[in-house]
Structure 1
Amino acid sequence: MTLAWLFVGKGAWWAIVGWTILLTGVLYRSLELERRFRYAQRRSLQAGEYIEHAAVMTAHALLWAVPMIALALAGSLTDLLVGWLIVMTLVVGSALGIVTAPICTIILCGITSASLAFGLIHLGFLQLTILPPIFFGLVTVGTIEKSRMFLAAKIAEAGVEEKNQVVSLLLREFEENGADWLWQIDASRRLRSVSPRFAYALNREPHAAEGESFVELLAGKTWNTGQLNQSLAELAEKLNRRESFANILVCVDLNGRKRWWELSGTPILDERNQYVGFRGVGSDVTEQRESSEKIAYLARYDTLTRLPNRLLLNEALSGALDYAAEWRTRCAFLMLDLDRFKAVNDTLGHQVGDKLLEQVGERLTALMGENEMCGRLGGDEFGVVIRDLDDAKRVTELSRRIIASISAPYNVDDHTLYVGTSIGSAVGPRDGKTVEELMRNADLALYQAKDLGGAEHCGFEPSLHALAEEQRQLEDSLRSALDNDEFELVYQPVVDANGETVVSFEALLRWNSRLHGHVSPAKFIPMAEETRLILPIGKWVLREACKRAMQWPPHVMVNVNVAPPQLLEPGFAKMVEEILDETGLPADRLEIEVTESVFLSDATVARTALESIMSLGCSVALDDFGTGYSSLGYLRTLRFSTIKVDRLFVQGAAQGNRESLAIIRAVVAMTESLGMTTTAEGVENADEAALIRGLGCTKIQGYYFGRPMAAREAISMLHREATQRSRIA
């Protein structure tokens, strides 16, 4: 209207009215388009719409250029500058307002600036023509920069909006489908915005939990006592220090129900960086916690006796050793092994044996003090850890009480059972500075207690370790002795009691070790039986004895001792048959000697093996008669060819012992009635030989008639005997 007023009196009124009407129409259309472009960031702008807007703005600019040119033609510089000022205001307003289509402002500015430049040139003010290009350049740069900033802001705003939508979607999905839940508290630690899932975990309605004290709600009944558990105290401390935390395991009390929660949280700060509360996530991990505790229990406790197992005992002993090293005290470890427990399992079954072990565990637990821990190492072995040993006598006293308690009778499934225990002990750090050393040395002491007959306690001594090392080296040498040809057989003659002629030789094994020299059979034979090396060694003995016997006169037999592991080995009788075939020795010239101990492990298998050997034609002698168990029962079920009277009875009879004499007479009478022969062992002089002969023994064996000798000496002895018989004949 201001610009139109400048033309009053200077032009036709109808031109002014027409220009005003056209301008009003273009402005109306421009405003209409601007309303549509105001929300262009919410949709894609079509090319046709953009062109239409540019066209309208071009028309707008041209309409503004008309009065500018008209004022210039009128010759008034002042009016021209006033008109340009008015147009410049419109251009600046367009630059500030129309940011979605910067080309429109550039078109408006470009056309109006060109009209001003024309007017200035027409009026002759050439020095002022620099103003329109400068104005056009500044408006163009500003418009483009403002539009770029506007576009960047809209893009950022759209990105934030998209992220907010994604986060909201994820949170909603998390709350609806996840096992976890969100929690939030204010600066006073009171719950805010309680979600349905969190309220369910609290066992409350959301509105009821709103505003409740977070820590008080989790503490339950313990809140009033002021004694928060360690996990809750840690959570309260984190909240108090306003520290972020992750995966804190908290024990909560919800209406008397103990639950385990895993919580993570971070402080909330407002726009002024002021603390306003905490927000986090939580989950109920009670089932996982209980499963973990059960796994940990099973890893450290014996399921049968519910006592600590080997792992937990090791940990306890390790802690005791560390405590002893720190405070310069002592600790101790006791290793227990039940006596006669195997007999319970073999006769009544493992179910009864397991119940017996449970009662043993209960008795041990009852004997433990505050500073002691008992546990099961495995099988029928138990252990006791004494953490702080203030008195060395305490080990002996505790061992005595354990032996007395374990040895008392047990009632299991209407069976009255008796077992005992042997105990070996070691004191740390004197007897070992590590768990392995202390347990090993207690085990060595236990072996010593077993060797004493059981129901004994032995403490570790350094000599036991030396003995164990010697045994280990001896076992290593024994394993290679057969390959190194270190064994040899010697033969002790068995003579007829009346004619004193040789009727057989007993083959006896000797070991001349390259490392240890001559090793006593009493030392290496039990070791061979324990390690089952007796099987290949026994096979070699049987083959070698049969070979040598083939060099003797046909009437002379060979006696070979057979250990229980050999006899109980499947196929033993078959092996004997093969060796007889291989060497060519007649079966009736081989006599197998066994002791009563072969019937203690598996009497049925032993009896079957002996019957198979007898069926081959071999003889079977029962050695060391009278020193074992149930001998008469064996004699009733098996037809032995010979009963060998132990040398203890022979020596006792020689000394006039009435019991020994009675036993020998009874054995002789029994064997005569059963059709067996009797061999008296250990005869060392003529008087003993005469006594045994007078008691009625059939055969005699002992140093008086010959010590164990090499094979060539045995042949020489047989040659001498044959020569004497030929001279007498």
Structure 2
Amino acid sequence: MTSQTSSQFAKPHIDARALLGLRDPADATNWGRIRAAQLHAGSQLALFMLAANLIGASMITLLLTPLVPMWQLAGWAVLVGVVSCVVAFRRLSDRHRNALTAELKGVRDTAYEGVALGIAWSILPLAFGHHANAMVALGLWVILSLLMTASAVAMAALPLATIAFVTLVGASIALTLLLIASPVLACAAGLFTVLLAIATIGRGKSLVVIRAHEIALAERDETVSLLLREFEENGSDWLWEIDAQRRIVRANPRFAVSLGVDPMTMNGTPFLQVLAGPTWEAGNFSAGLRELADKLKSRESFRDLLLPVFVDGEEYWWEMSASPRFDERGAFCGFRGVGSDVTEQRRSADKINKMARFDTLTGLPNRLLINETLQRAMQEADRWSSRCAFMMIDLDRFKAVNDTLGHPVGDRLLGRVSERLQTLVSENEMIGRLGGDEFAVVVRDATDTARTERLAHTIIEVLSRPYEVDQHTLYIGASVGLAIGPRDGRSAEMLIRSADLALYRSKDAGGGVYHAYEPQLHVVAEERRVLEIALRGAVENREMHLQYQPVVNAATGQLTGFEALLRWQHPELGNISPAKFVPLAEEARLIAPIGEWVLRTACAEAARWDLPVRVAVNVSPEQLHNPAFVSVVAQALAQSGLPPERLELEVTESVFMREGTQATQVLERILDLGVRLSLDDFGTGYSSLGYLAHTRFSSIKIDRSFVQGASKGTKEAIAIIRAVVALADSLGMATTAEGVETEDEHLMVQQLGCSKVQGYYFGRPLPVQEARILATRQVGGSVAA
């Protein structure tokens, strides 16, 4: 039975043909109920897909009205509406919504629905695609892509119908793009279609696996309930009876068997002596037995009294209930009661209690037990006027392990970390796992501050040693935040918050260090909180504005463009430095709306300038990791009327550091719009030459730290500038030196070969009106003149 049960709950093997409704496999999986669930899922989202088709048809009609005769569009829209309604009504039928099982034909027939919808939508690009220009073709592709994606996500439970629809529509739009656009776009459309089909099959498999597990769990619950009822019917308690001298009378056979003694020898034996077993002679009685003795002595009734009993050296737990007995004259004559063996229940309760308080992955105390231990430590520290401590530990670079090697390796690494931590603590400390890659240490007695600090340093040093996991040598580190109670918090919650602030400071310092809590950290955190609240309304309240710093030709001093710089003037806090609020905006996920406002405002202003100078706008990595940013750039150019070649987007090297994103593809699509790209702060980050070769940058900006170093005669800085200039020249890129503040610095970067310069020597960031005047009067002169 055990092997059968384990196989029943093993992960089912999903036959792709059975998933598509092409065959009915003869395996243990209940495909009839799974097919019914597939059809039921299709009926639940039928109205959603109907609405998606109708809305998509309406949007297409509005898009093509200026280009295609209305009667043709109306005829096509009616066809789509009729087919969509028929498909929706079929999926909403009672046999789909109420059936507990379904035959193979029911799932297979949904393919006709997908084919019908696919043909109806394929008419659109094939019949009307040649009327479309580039923008209209892009709109068609966006709408059809959204419709295909919605189908792949919402109707993955019916993969055969969904794949038929996606394939037909994708093939038609790919053919249309091949004829009216380019093979590259056609290939992209084809690849997108193939990926959607693969995703549909994968999601369909996941849904089937979930349903198979639900069916197996229901069957398991029925089996478990049956076994429990059988156990309860066959189980029974035993009776016991004692006289006024607390000696056993008429020993119950089941009671004697439970104690492992002969029922005949139990009569007349002191009841407490029998229960105490080997502890009777030593007098080392348990608390439960002492409570039982008190109850018997006071002749009180008791119920569900729990006490440990030792039988053949093994501990059992009994639950006792009894009432005093009196004769017809009212004289006390003993107790009569019932007992039951609750050892299994006790062990189960202990196991549940352990599961509730210990981490299943590492076996360490979890957040609940850590909080309870810290609260007791705080109480003891308050009682004895001593100190306790709390450390928060965060692993450095652990996310990279999960991202590159997978979560199973990451879990095994966490196990190794917990093993090392357990070797570092004594009876005075308790180590636990808060969750993820965060651990904690509760120091019950932290009177010796130096010892506590040594423990923090030791934790960092030990956890930073290499690990060997699955033939991989892994290097991580640790950051520690320390708080001392009750100095840094009068409650456990306050102390944890203080340690968290100290940990944040350690992480902010680059990791691999520990910091103790300081009151200033709370002030900084509160300032950040207030600043974040103010930042959320800064754009709407028109507190943000742009200033424009000139960028000039290094040889002639002729103005070539401006860099748009964001400034924030708060009505109460005054001018707030970008170095303070920009990182906060990135952390609070506010940089995207703020960056979009900057882009639109800068384009609108640059369109007013008389000279065809460029405007440079800084773009955050968060914006470039969003594929929709391409549409934002296109809209900003279209609404402002600014030619694309006059817009330059500045990106930093950090945008290429995150794996698995679409930043490179987004940049390529932006370049296709005609916008120029500039690599900002080159040399201050990771400086990989790979992305210079694969991304078409028009210029490289040399950070002001190198310019200042070179002006002081630092050989390394001069060598770096020369190397960057040589690299840029070989790749056909311009070089812009930032932070040029004196004439000597200007002459130096000019001699080193920089093509453009920017800095206070040529102009500070200017308000919009002054920048507009400078862009208007720079006809033949130079900024430096």
* Bin for the TM-score computed over the shorter chain: 0.7 to 0.9
Matched residue, 1:228:
285
Note the C-alpha offset of 1:487. 0.3
Residue of structure 2 in register with 1:405 after alignment: 462
1:719 counterpart = 2:776? yes
For 1:544, give the aligned amino acid: T
Counterpart of 2:433 in structure 1: which amino acid? R
1:116 aligns with none
Q: Which of 685, 688, 703 does residue 646 from structure 1 map onto? A: 703
Match of 1:29 in 2: none
User: Per the alignment, in what secondary structure is the counterpart of residue 480 of structure 2?
Assistant: strand
2-structure distance, mates of 1:515, 1:414: 58
2:546 alignment partner, one of 470, 474, 489: 489
Partner SS for 1:453: coil
User: Hey, what does 1:102 align to over in structure 2?
Assistant: none
TM-score, structure 1 as length reference: 0.72
Deviation at 1:669, TM superposition (A): 1.3
Structure 1 pair 244–609 and aligned structure 2 pair: CA distance change class (3 A): same
Q: Offset at 1:705? A: 1.2
Q: Which residue of 1 aligns with 2:674?
A: 617
Q: For residues 655-706 of structure 1, give each alpha carbon's deviation from its aligned partner in whole angstroms, at most 9, with x where no partner exists.
A: 2222111111111111111111111111111111111111111211111111
Contiguous gaps of at least 5 residues in structure 2: 1-231
What is the deviation of 1:586?
1.9
Find 2:348's aligned residue among 282, 291, 294. Answer: 291
SS in 2 for 1:508: strand
Native 8 Å contact 2:611 2:775 kept in 1: no
Any residues of structure 2 matched to 1:227-266 within 5 Å, and which?
A: 227-266=284-323
In structure 2, relative to structure 1, the CA distance for the partners of 1:601 and 1:208 (3 Å cut) is farther
Between the two proteins, the alignment pairs up a number of residues equal to 552
Whether the 8 Å contact between 1:497 and 1:699 is mirrored in structure 2 is yes
Say whether residues 1:586 and 2:634 are aligned partners. no
Amino acid at match of 1:509: L
Quickly say closer, same or farther: Cα 1:291–1:369, change in 2 above 3 A.
same
User: CA separation in 1, counterparts of 2:596 and 2:262?
Assistant: 85
Query: Quick check: 1:567 aligned with 2:624?
Result: yes
2:522 paired residue among 454, 465, 470: 465
Task: Give the Cα–Cα distance (whole angstroms) in 2 for the partners of residues 177 and 423 of structure 1.
Answer: 56
After superposition, give the CA deviation of every residue in 1:180-220 in whole Å (9 maximum; x if it has no partner): 33221234444333445445544566556555553344334
> Residues 307-706 of structure 1: matches in 2 within 5 Å?
307-553=364-610, 555-602=612-659, 604-706=661-763
Q: Aligned ranges for residues 3-18 of structure 1 at < 5 Å?
A: none
Indicate the SS of the match to 2:540. coil
Maintained 8 Å contact 1:194/1:209: yes
CA distance in 1, matches of 2:674, 2:661: 21
Contact 1:182 1:195 in 2 (8 A): yes
**Aligned pairs for 1:159-170 within 5 A:** none
Counterpart of 1:498 in structure 2: which amino acid?
A: A
Q: Structure 1: how far apart are the matches of 2:570 and 2:401?
A: 40
Alpha carbons 1:482, 1:537 under 8 Å: kept: yes
Q: What amino acid sits opposite 1:651 in the alignment? A: Q
Instruction: Supply the distance in 2 between the matched residues of 1:382 and 1:445 (Cα, whole angstroms).
Output: 14
Choose 534-543 or 362-371, whichever is displaced more.
362-371
- 1:697 alignment partner AA: C
In 1, distance between residues paired with 2:568 and 2:601? 14
What is the distance in 1 between the residues matched to 2:246 and 2:233? 25
| Residue aligned with 2:333, SS | strand
Mapped to 2, the partners of 1:498 and 1:193 lie a distance apart of 115
CA drift at 1:227: 2.1
Q: 1:583 to 1:179 in 2, by over 3 A?
A: farther
The Cα shift of 1:339 comes to 1.5
C-alpha distance in 1 between matches for 2:530 and 2:520: 15
Contact 2:430 2:442 (C-alpha < 8 Å) held by counterparts: yes
For the pair shown, which has the larger CA radius of gyration, 1 or 2? 1
**Cα distance change, pair 485–176 in 1 and its aligned pair in 2 (3 A):** closer
Aligned residue identity for 2:477: G
Deviation at 1:305, TM superposition (A): 1.6
SS at match of 1:617: coil
Q: What letter corresponds to residue 344 of structure 2 in structure 1?
A: E
| Cα contact 1:625–1:631 (8 A) shared by 2 | no
The verdict on how the C-alpha distance between 1:200 and 1:623 changes in structure 2, with shifts beyond 3 A counting, is: same
Contact residue 386 and residue 447 of structure 2 kept, 8 A = yes
How much does 1:357 deviate? 1.5
Offset, 1:228: 2.5
Give the drift of 1:481.
Answer: 0.9
Q: For 1:126-275, what aligned pairs fall within 5 Å after superposition?
A: 179-199=236-256, 201-202=258-259, 206-207=263-264, 210-275=267-332
Q: Secondary structure at the match of 1:228?
A: coil
Task: Quote how far apart the aligned CAs of 1:584 are.
Answer: 1.8
Cα distance 1:178–1:698, how it changes in 2: closer, same or farther (>3 A)? Answer: same
Which segments of 5 or more consecutive residues in structure 1 lack a partner in the other structure?
Answer: 1-174
Structure 1 Cα separation of the partners of residues 697 and 655 of structure 2: 14
Secondary structure of 2:662's counterpart equals: helix
CA distance in 2, matches of 1:606, 1:408: 34
Cα deviation for residue 520 of structure 1 reads: 0.3
Distance 1:179 1:646 in 2: 83
Distance (Å, rounded) in 2 between the aligned partners of 1:621 and 1:187? 98
Contact 2:610 2:776 in 1 (8 A): no
Distance 2:287 2:576 in 1: 66
3-state SS in 2 of match to 1:509:
strand
Per-residue deviation, 1:554: 5.5
Determine the C-alpha separation between the residues in 2 that align with 1:474 and 1:246: 61
Change (3 A) 1:214 1:649: same
Residue 261 of structure 1 and its aligned partner are, at CA, apart by 1.6
- Residue 177 of structure 1 and its aligned partner are, at CA, apart by 6.5
Q: Which amino acid aligns with 2:293?
A: A
Q: Is the 8 A contact 2:323 2:337 kept in 1?
A: yes
Distance (whole Å) between structure 2 residues aligned to residue 417 and residue 555 of structure 1: 54
- 1:423 maps to amino acid: V
Do the aligned partners of 1:620 and 1:642 also contact (CA within 8 Å) in 2?
yes
- SS class of match (1:481): coil
Query: 1:396 is aligned with what amino acid?
Result: E
CA contact (8 A) 2:613 2:775 kept: no
In the superposition, the TM-score normalised over structure 2's length comes to 0.67
Q: 2:551 touches 2:757 (CA, 8 Å); kept in 1?
A: yes
Retained in 2: the 8 A contact 1:220–1:255?
A: no
Deviations 1:198-248 (A, max 9, x none): 455445665565555533443344445432322223223333443321110
Tell me, yes or no, if the aligned pair for 2:625 and 2:661 is still in contact at 8 Å.
no
- The alpha-carbon deviation at position 259 of structure 1 amounts to 2.2
* 1:310-342 residue CA offsets vs partner (Å, 9 max, x unmatched): 221111121122112211111111122111112
Q: Is residue 477–residue 515 contact of structure 1 (8 Å, CA) maintained in 2? A: no
What value does the CA root-mean-square deviation take over the aligned residues? 2.2
The 3 A distance-change label for structure 1 pair 604 and 434 is: closer
> Does the 8 A contact of 1:318 with 1:435 survive in 2?
yes
Q: Taking structure 1 as reference, are residues 554 and 346 closer, same or farther at Cα in structure 2, changes over 3 Å only?
A: farther
Task: Tell me how far apart the structure 1 counterparts of residues 291 and 316 of structure 2 sit (CA, whole Å).
Answer: 16
Give the match's secondary structure for 1:313.
helix
CA pair 533-217 structure 1, distance change in 2 beyond 3 A: same
Q: Which amino acid aligns with 2:630?
A: A
